[in-house]
Structure 1
């Protein structure tokens, strides 16, 4: 065998190893015994918020594996919370059902207020770092930006069909929204003026903004997932998706925009390089018990440090994964 062939085989084996699925977590613990309707992680992976099947809402310290607060969303007898988010800075969190939401103060575990929407159902929600501004995507195609302190309400009508995903900058000034009208829009929450348009070939199902405001992410129902520079709107990279890639259920930037973390409904947690769109590594989270076929939805992921990722899934598990060097 020639030296060239050996080098080709060696290089290919390294690529396959780096991007192969790994389903063995280094740490795993249960935060919802019978599964979760929704779950999220703080950007630094230190906190998790879960909406469980039988025990309502609970906030956890991930590193200590300890419950911090048990919350009751609107005193509901049956838990209907399907959206939970922890704002940048780990000071505030938000939970939402189809028609109402609650903002929580993480420092003392108290609810800052309860709000009900008397219109179409909530599809996605986001919260600013100071806990004062909320962005709500609705099934009728409208996006609402609320300032909870002043009571100011802005209705954004840039989408013509159902809104699937929303993201809000840490300071609440800018929004990124995606819908069934095949477009993602980056706009000013003070004026409702569209700043950038990101057209797609299918329904836009996922959007994300990098915490420092330098990148945006948009993905559709096809195989188009792209990272854009803000404010220029130029494409930075396109994720190198495979035939096995599923629609994303979670996306977030990590490490000052160096990496992108994604999750899918087919158990897959992935880490991508932002500048190239290349996958560094994939993991398969543990499936929910007694499911056939074995399945789990990845609700959230975060980098604990340079060597580990943490995930939260519908199986009710928090799992820690080692990143290969």
Structure 2
């Protein structure tokens, strides 16, 4: 079957080389290369692509930061101030963003900061994703329904493949393929044109996170007990299994870099981890920073992004964005 994520006039993602990371130890106490304060206290949500970082403080406007800046680039107000923004998304191409309360969604231009649309919802929202240039939205509801919306044409498709609350979802850059997960542990990969299911798999526990490789080769899913899985697309075959080394810790965010055979994950208890995509080998672990005046003294890594072959970027609930160095020791042809 052809690569499901390819689109007309979109260059294919071909990996010329794989970087295999060999490290003397899995755990690292090394400090970040740089640290950028995004808030004076803890934040409710954050989403980053390494260049732009969206921050939801829980009250007040959503702030948009550029990497390295001392002040926000934009501040976005959405609806009533009493309704906190709880979900954030950045399109894969980095041109647009979406912010959402449980009952409203707004789409924004990251190039100009202006609002591109505001939508009221009939159901309680649980998950959100956005296609390139804001051409489509994917909305996951408490009812178990997933709604795909083409914003230009207004076409809507309701996906009814789940029987439980939607916890997480992701949308391909071209808006043609979706990955959704529910509280009963089911993960489904499907087409947004006709809701046809292409693959599905089952976790033993509730799935709290799914992420697509935008090259169309892999999907990552993780459950509430800290068990992670890498599956090959489009068929859904199991590629690797991951497990958070410490009991009681879970995955919160993930980013796939298939071209370099690696996966970055952010978790609870300040964990930022690097894994080998092909077999799930654990390569390295960092601890993100804290505001020392905050209690309890911990943090969740809300979002991660690869910003260069040797750099990883994280945004955490402590209100910090940090850049980390990845040591590349060997290079092998694919």
Say whether residues 1:51 and 2:49 are aligned partners.
no
In the alignment, which of 275, 278, 300 is matched to residue 272 of structure 1?
275
Structure 1 residue runs of 5 or longer lacking an equivalent are 1-13
Are residues 1:25 and 2:32 paired?
A: yes
In 1, Cα distance between the equivalents of 2:70 and 2:175? 31
Q: State the aligned residue count.
A: 308
What do the CA deviations read for 1:191-210 (whole angstroms, capped 9, x no partner)? Answer: 11111011111111111100
1:38 corresponds to 2:45:
yes
Q: Does 1:73 find its partner at 2:78?
A: yes
Aligned counterpart for 1:106 among listed residues 100, 110, 128: 110
Give the C-alpha shift of residue 219 in structure 1: 1.4
Q: Does the CA-based 8 Å contact 1:161-1:181 persist in structure 2?
A: yes
> Match of 1:170, SS?
coil
Whole-angstrom CA distance in 2 between matches of 1:24 and 1:296: 16
Match of 1:180 among 166, 170, 183: 183
**Runs (5+) with no aligned partner, structure 2:** 1-20, 329-334
Q: Is the 8 A contact 2:60 2:81 kept in 1?
A: no
Larger radius of gyration: 1
- Note the 1:242-281 alignment, pairs <5 A: 242-244=245-247, 246-254=249-257, 256=259, 258-281=261-284
Alpha-carbon distance, 1:188 to partner: 0.9
Residues 87-236 of structure 1: matches in 2 within 5 Å? 87-119=91-123, 121-236=124-239
Deviation at 1:183, TM superposition (A): 0.9
* Greater RCO (CA < 8 Å, at least 6 residues apart): 2
Residue 7 of structure 1 is matched in structure 2 by none
1:99 shift after superposition: 0.9
So what's the TM-score if we normalise by structure 2?
0.86
Residue 296 of structure 2: which of 293, 306, 311 is its match?
A: 293
Shift of the alpha carbon at 1:313? 0.8
Counterpart Cα distance in 2 of 1:57 and 1:293: 24
CA contact (8 A) 1:210 1:257 kept: no
Answer whether contact 1:32 1:53 (CA < 8 A) is retained: no
Q: Give me the TM-score of the superposition, normalised by structure 1.
A: 0.89
For residues 47-79 of structure 1, give each alpha carbon's deviation from its aligned partner in whole angstroms, at most 9, with x where no partner exists: 1111124542121110445532111122x3246
Residue 85 of structure 1 corresponds to which residue in structure 2?
89
In the TM superposition, structure 1's runs of 4+ consecutive aligned residues that sit over 6 Å from their partners are none
SS of residue paired to 1:130: helix
Pair 307,144 (structure 1): closer, same or farther in 2 beyond 3 Å: same
**RMSD (CA atoms):** 2.0
- Residue 323 of structure 2 corresponds to residue 323 of structure 1: no
